Structure 1
Amino acid sequence: MKLYWSPNSPYARKVVVVAKELRIDDRVKLIETSAVPTKENSELSALNPLTRIPTLQLNTGETLFDSSLICEYLDEFADGGLLPALGPARRQVFKLELFGLDIMDRAVVCRQETLRPEGYRWSGWVDAQFDRIGKILDVLDANVPALDPDLGTITVGCALEYLDFRFGDRPWRSPRPHLTAWQQQLVVREQGTKRLSRSQFSGCGGI
């Protein structure tokens, strides 16, 4: 399998962490690329008409896109591990994943806003997005997830890493001690098991 990704994309990092947690990362070849709206990427467009990353090309030639679909496929490919069987537990994992995805979605569009010429930036709109992100973080702080890896915890972990990476000027930890402790334990676990760490955000280009 070939995964078209960028180390700066929280969605792509989520897929890489899932592959590592499932211990199938040796079956996935990483191909670093970019998906910038203002630049053509003909190779990626040929595989994925949405021209977005992550994009996974299977050995059969089939192409999957959207991080959630890719992760669900990888879990199936590995005979499970990160998604419970159908029922309440599975729904809870998907709900937690949606919290993480919403943080990512809002943070990424805010990042794109910072790349606009200064005179065209809408700071009030960015502030509103971070107000919504803060409300999600408050819910997570009051209901800290388990540390056991699943698709939900991985997504939230990658979302928090992205906030640290791109928005260090908007600290989220101080009013949320429980979520802070959870994220710190998650980082320790990732480093101890050689999962993808926050330090591997490259900081150059991309989102």
Structure 2
Amino acid sequence: MKILHGKLSPFVRKAMICAIEKGLENRVEIEPAAVGQGKINEDLLKLNPTGKIPTLITDDGDAIYDSLVICDYLDSVVAEPRFVPAEQRERTRALTMNAAADGLIVAGVLAMLEKGKPAERQWPEFEAAQWAKVEHCIGAIDKARAERGDKFDIGAAAALCALGWLDARAQHIDWRGRYAALATWADAHDSRDSVSRTRPPKS
């Protein structure tokens, strides 16, 4: 198997956490893929029409994309430990936590892209709306963390990737100061093998 990869992508990080948790890292080849706003990667687009990473190429040559779909596929390669829970109640909770984490990142990226435009082209209301989504997603992650305890699955991994993204790219969002229990939870997982090994390089 091969994962088209970017060191700074929190979505790639989630897929790699899954691979490590399932003991598959030695079966997954890492191939860097050039992506970014305004870039066209024709080779990637031939495999993944969204042009995004991560993209997983299976041993049969099939292309699988979206971090959730990749994690679900890896659960089919090695059944245990489950990364996407099988039991419906826990599955729904984990996937909802994953959705809040992914939504946080998407909204944060959109806000930063808007802020990066020339002043005359910026839409302040749009930027503010995206940061409001980020704030509510943090609250949702904290609520899910409190309800789900120490379970480590796609929900927890996605949350750690999203919070790590905030620490690296949006330090003005003082989530640690306002969510002490969430910060303690995140820090407690920081030394977990799959989390520490996928930590993005400091910019």
**TM-score between the two structures when normalised by the length of structure 2:** 0.89
Task: Tell me which stretches of 4 or more aligned residues in structure 1 moved more than 4 Å.
Answer: none
Deviations 1:42-70 (CA, angstroms, capped at 9, x unpaired): 21112112211111111111100111101
Deviations 1:154-173 (CA, angstroms, capped at 9, x unpaired): 00110000111111122211
- Counterpart for residue 46 of structure 1: 46
| 1:111 and 1:166 in contact (8 A); partners too | no
Identity %, equivalent residues: 26
Between 1:167-176 and 1:66-75, the stretch displaced more is 167-176
Between 1:81-90 and 1:38-47, the stretch displaced more is 81-90
Q: Are 2:181 and 1:195 aligned?
A: no
- Counterpart for residue 14 of structure 1: 14
Call closer, same or farther: CA 1:46–1:65 in 2, change over 3 Å. same
User: 1:115 offset after TM fit, Å?
Assistant: 3.7
- Gapped regions of structure 1 (runs ≥ 5): none
Once residues 42 and 160 of structure 1 are traced to their aligned partners in structure 2, the CA distance between those partners, rounded to angstroms, is: 31
Call closer, same or farther: CA 1:97–1:129 in 2, change over 3 Å. same
- Counterpart for residue 76 of structure 2: 76
Q: CA RMSD in A?
A: 2.0
What count of residue pairs does the alignment treat as equivalent?
Answer: 200
Q: Are 2:186 and 1:183 aligned?
A: yes
2:150 to 147, 151, 170: 147
**TM-score between the two structures when normalised by the length of structure 1:** 0.87
Once residues 186 and 128 of structure 2 are traced to their aligned partners in structure 1, the CA distance between those partners, rounded to angstroms, is: 24
Once residues 106 and 87 of structure 1 are traced to their aligned partners in structure 2, the CA distance between those partners, rounded to angstroms, is: 28
- Counterpart for residue 173 of structure 2: 170
Between 1:168-177 and 1:64-73, the stretch displaced more is 168-177
- Counterpart for residue 125 of structure 2: 124
Once residues 49 and 132 of structure 1 are traced to their aligned partners in structure 2, the CA distance between those partners, rounded to angstroms, is: 27
